Amino acid sequence: MSRLLLVLLLGFATALHAGQRSQDPIGEREDMGSLPSVERQQLEDWLQALAASWNTPRLSDYLDPDLPDRQRLLGAIEDQVPPDAELRVLSVGPVRVLDEDRAPGMITRVVRVSVRLQVQGSADNGGLERRESRQNLVVRWTRRVPE
């Protein structure tokens, strides 16, 4: 079974900012290609599960234990996000393989995936408030492969 660990979770913890433009880090390795369609579907399914766990205690299962300020992020969500707020994945854009390591019986890939997200929750006026954002997430994905 595939195991995905979130390496970097950009910005959707406390507020999503619409209209961001994507930027490539300086010195990034050359694009290693995209994922095969079966693996892309597994990644999309995982992103849906991540979104479903947002604003719940299960979110910590998706975050890398070594993520800088991991506890601060979880605390900010708990303190600043209304309990009824939900995160939805609206679309998954390009997936780029940034790095890949192979070991006997496993492959670890670091991928960048562009995701269009929406946070939905109660507004002060009693209505429903929605905020959209496009985020680039970097995910470390380790999976077993037949030897």
* pLDDT tens string 54-104: 888 899 998 888 888 989 989 998 888 888 899 999 999 999 999 999 999
Confidence bin at 127 (pLDDT 50/70/90): confident
Give the residue from 139, 99, 141, 147 showing the smallest Cα distance to 1: 141
Q: What are phi and psi of 50, to 5 degrees?
A: -60, -45
* Helices of type H across the chain: 37-53, 70-80
pLDDT of 42 reads: 92
The CA distance from 120 to 88, in Å, is 8
For tokens 């290609």, what's the residue? 33
Q: What are phi and psi of 85, to 5 degrees?
A: -70, 140
Q: Which amino acid is at 140?
A: R
Asked whether residue 76 is assigned to any structural domain, the reply reads: yes
- Total tally of structural domains belonging to the chain: 1
Domain of 69?
4-9+30-144
Cα 96–chain centre separation: 14
